A and B are shown apart, each in its own frame.
Chain A
Amino acid sequence: MSRRRATISFVVVSLALVIAFGTPAISQTPKAGGTLNITQREDLPQGFAIHETSTISTVWPAMPCLNNLVLFDPLKKTESLDTIIGELAEKWSWQDNYRNLVFFLRKGVKWHDGQPFTSKDVKYTFDMLREAPDAPAKLRINPRKDWYTNVQTIEAPDPHTVIFHLKRPQPSLLMMLASGYTPVYAAHVPPANYRTACIGTGPFKLKEWRKGEFVEFVKNPDYFVKGRPYLDGLKYIVIAERGTRTAALQSGAVDVAFPGETTKTAAEQLKKAVPELAVTPYSQNVNDNIIMNMKKPPFNNAKVRLAVSRAIDRRALVQAVHQGGAVVGASMAPKPHGFWGLLDRDLNALPGYGKPADEKPRAKQLLAEAGVTPQNPLKVEMVTRAIAVYVDMASFVINELKQIGIEASLKQIETAQWHATATRGDYQIGANLTGIGPDDPDANYFENYACGSPRNYSFYCDEQVMKMIEQQSQELDPKKRFAQVAALQKKLEDDAARPLLDWKLDYFVHRPFVKNLIPHQSIYNFGRMQEVWRDK
């Protein structure tokens, strides 16, 4: 084919496509203006103090006010080292074989109260987070201190440079810094003030927080990204009643649902009622799992733990409890929702992930080896949080355990007592949910499986696993690290450290005119709203 003919063919095909599908490039040009009404399922539990909480109820409405050093690209669904973009850091560079992480900060950035942003703010924030001996401030509650155990010192040689000195290489530190959990606080504002107000550098400034009603933001005219944000304002409306939330979405009184709230069934019903609604299924990075107290009998016996893991038909649970709105996976979110998930072949070979007809007899065999027989049955108490999503899962698991000869009674624990019960180990076996910030092994394993971690509710502690966690954390070759993480996932399931049941999906709903609000691989990382606009 001659070059001219090829060019003509290309033009003809392009024109045909444009005629067939319209002109997306033109219609998708962002428009400025308008306010977005966004659902908030409860009032902000800790105000805007993201560093003092783990709940999405704080992270979601507080993110627009703040900025990170780096952030997962809001326009990309995938979260990885390749999709991290600069926010307060214009550039960054690894030095000394990944032992020093140098950030070059943007110039001319101002806090919402007019004070200049400098490297002092970054050092202040991260010294406070890692509880450095000379930290100028202390958080009341510091749930992610463990993320920064590898940071030795933080240096601010000039107002626009910050250096994180690490004890050992840790390439995925960037992943944690890019999470919605990791904003930079202002050094001149006491951390307690973020519980009632928000002085950030973010695209939106706090206008009003009417307790129990709404949080309203207005566009930050001094935002450091030219032309952003597109919207004039955001209004997060607190709607505590689930039925009213659905009605509000259906009627158009709100434009965006609360992340992590819409089940598959609810999304289908909404779509049927209002066909033009946009529904996007994505992984919340929240999993259902079983915690077994290894400090006490009978779950200090690995065979009993493994029997429990093998007894639970995960695929049936996904159908029965989540109506298909979840996916089966090991300790990292499965593909295509997560990057690190095991291949189906490897997953199906793990204990508990095979065919129920094969798994249940093996579970009974393991129990028999542990001395549990019909004459000597095992009676346990299963605890769970007194919230429907927990109780449904626990009830299903109890029924599965019954089939292999474990008699479990259900004890519901009120939210106020739930984490205290789990952390203290005042339980035998429990049905639990675990949310993970970024889709990264470091964020998950140090927090939930490392010896001595306060969120390691099973008290699982294995020297080999600790070495594997450390090893993958400092591995610089992505392929090697992937293989190491796969081996780690297999080891944890083989040990029934905290048997994973499924990874929940959210069916994120918004009105069709809401553009550039793209759910990521985790509910905690896409709330900045800087790129969002209304096509209306």
Chain B
Amino acid sequence: MKSYVAQRLGIAILTLVGMSIVIFTLLRLAPGDIVDILFSTAGYVNESEKQAILKELGMDRPYWIQYLDWMRQILTGDLGKSYRYDVPAWEVIRPLVPVTIELAVLSIIVAVVLGVPTGVISAVRQDTTLDYVLRVLSLAGLSMPSFWLGMVIILGMVSWLGWIPPLTYVKPTENFRAHAIQFALPALAVGYRSSALIMRITRSSLLEVMREDYIRTAWAKGQAERVVIWHHALKNAILPVVTVIGIEFAFLIGGLVVTETVFNLPGVARFLVQAILWRDYPIVQNLVMFIAIVVILSNLFVDMLYGVLDPRVRYGG
């Protein structure tokens, strides 16, 4: 087990190094840089002034030196300075992380709470009216982009209640109720879409397991439906569902751009897009690395979870 984790972490480090090279290169391949944007806000361009700013930001140095400098900064825990804000990048990134993680976790909780039971019910009541209704609802969830649903929720709130959720981040320690409301609506919008996916996977996986001999044996032994479904069938059907949950969580960390924008939540994804538009390399590079780390760790966590859920799974050295 330990050697497996060590091996995975070794691969993770190589992946992160590869990732850093890709993001560093892609950013430099995109046309324009922060200095072009700064001049854009001023409405003119002056070449000599541009060169001076490039030098001030260290962007006049060869790319490989800039890359090594970034790696050195990461290793020393210094993420550099935001080009746009002229403050340490960590100061900008730090408040974003908890917002996105909280939203992603809440969305996944909503997705699991809605998706797994409805998937089970749909499988158990296959081809009944209830099954059709749940399948239509899940298809609707997959078809509706969460940002669209979010905007509909906001417009509905304004039209019917004359109210919208808080527009600036409310800390739970400041006002827990406002905080909960602020996160509940986007979590519902995002969680509904994810729940649809989870519901469909749960249903198909469970249907497959339900046709297995040992389930037929359990039925023949006269075991209660609750025991057969929840203890025998679902336990074996849950592995692909866990995989999907892991993938969804990793996706949500970087994929909440529009939801965060619509609900005006200061999270990682919304900020990442702004940073890309501003070519704020230190912010973009470090946020992408953060997202990559979350994806790697969530994958590792899911793989570890397999061993807990299915005793047949053994980790090789």
Contact = CB atoms under 8 A, between A and B. Distances in A.
Interface in A29-85: 42-43, 45-47, 52-55, 57-58
B105 interface: no
Given A141-B53, A416-B277, A420-B40, 12 more contacts: A45-B84, A53-B41, A54-B41, A140-B52, A141-B46, A196-B86, A244-B262, A414-B32, A415-B37, A416-B37, A419-B39, A423-B44
Given A210-B95, A240-B261, A143 B31 contact: no
Interface in B142-164: 151, 154-155, 157-159, 162-164
Contacts of B158: 247, 250-251
A254 B36 contact: no
B274 A43 contact: yes
B193 interface: no
Contacts of A143: 42-44
A22 B310 CA distance: 80
Contacts of A273: 159
B31 A454 contact: no
A424 B37 CA distance: 15
B64 interface: no
Given A210-B95, A416-B33, A455 B43 contact: yes
A468 interface: no
Contacts of A185: none
Interface in B165-180: 166-169
Interface in A186-244: 192, 195-196, 210-214, 235, 237-241, 243-244
Interface of B: 31-33, 36-46, 49, 52-53, 56, 84-87, 92, 95-96, 151, 154-155, 157-159, 162-164, 166-169, 261-264, 266, 270-271, 274, 277, 279
B18 to A, nearest CB: 27
A418 interface: yes
A247 B154 contact: yes
B36 A247 contact: no
A57 B39 CA distance: 14
Contacts of B92: 211
Interface in A377-431: 414-420, 423-424
B53 A140 contact: yes
A213 B169 contact: yes
A248 B262 contact: no
B43 A251 contact: no
Given A52-B42, A54-B41, A240-B261, A251 B162 contact: yes
Contact of B164 (A55, A195, A210, A253): A253
Nearest to A419: B40
Given A141-B42, A243-B154, A455-B44, A196 B87 contact: yes
Contacts, number: 142
Contacts of B159: 273
A210 B169 CA distance: 10
Nearest to A214: B168
Nearest to A239: B264
B39 A47 contact: no
A418 to B, nearest CB: 6
A275 interface: no
Given A47-B86, A143-B43, A454-B46, A243 B32 contact: no
Contact of B31 (A57, A414, A455): A414
Chain A CB within 10 Å, residue with most, of B33, B167, B274, B279: B167
Contacts of A142: 49
A192 B57 CA distance: 13
A252 interface: yes
B279 A241 contact: no
Nearest to A240: B261
A42 B273 CA distance: 12
Given A196-B86, A211-B85, A247-B155, A416 B279 contact: yes
A454 B167 contact: no
A213 B270 CA distance: 11
A475 B277 CA distance: 45
Q: Give 3 closest A-B pairs by Cβ, nearest first.
A: A416-B32, A143-B42, A454-B44
Given A414-B31, A417-B32, A423-B44, A248 B167 contact: yes
A141 B261 contact: no
A478 to B, nearest CB: 29
Contacts of B151: 243-244
Nearest to B164: A251
A213 B266 contact: yes
A243 B155 CA distance: 8
A254 B167 contact: yes
B295 to A, nearest CB: 23
A419 to B, nearest CB: 5
Given A210-B95, A241-B261, A247-B164, A418 B40 contact: yes
A195 B86 contact: yes
Contacts of A214: 168
Given A47-B86, A196-B87, A212-B266, A54 B279 contact: no
Contacts of A252: 162
A57 B84 CA distance: 14
A435 B41 CA distance: 12
B32 A210 contact: no
Contact of B44 (A46, A235, A419): A419
Nearest to A52: B42
Interface string A243-284: 110011011111000000000000000000100000000000
A140 B86 CA distance: 13
B168 A46 contact: no
A243 B38 contact: no
A250 B157 CA distance: 11
Contacts of A141: 38-39, 42, 46, 49, 53
Given A141-B49, A416-B32, A417-B32, A237 B40 contact: no
A416 B41 CA distance: 9
A237 B170 CA distance: 13
Contacts of A211: 85, 87, 92, 95
A107 B158 CA distance: 50
Contact of A54 (B43, B86, B157, B274): B43
B86 A420 contact: no
A381 to B, nearest CB: 17
Contacts of A239: 167, 264
Contacts of A235: 168
Contacts of B154: 243-244, 247
Interface-centre pick from A52, A53, A57, A241 (highest chain B CB count, 10 A): A241
B306 to A, nearest CB: 38
A443 B95 CA distance: 42
A213 B85 CA distance: 13
A243 B262 contact: yes
B41 A55 contact: yes
A54 B37 CA distance: 12
Interface string A447-464: 000000011000000000
25 contacts: A42-B274, A140-B52, A140-B56, A143-B42, A143-B43, A210-B169, A212-B96, A240-B274, A241-B264, A243-B155, A244-B154, A244-B164, A244-B262, A247-B164, A251-B163, A416-B32, A416-B36, A416-B37, A416-B277, A416-B279, A419-B36, A419-B40, A419-B42, A454-B46, A455-B43
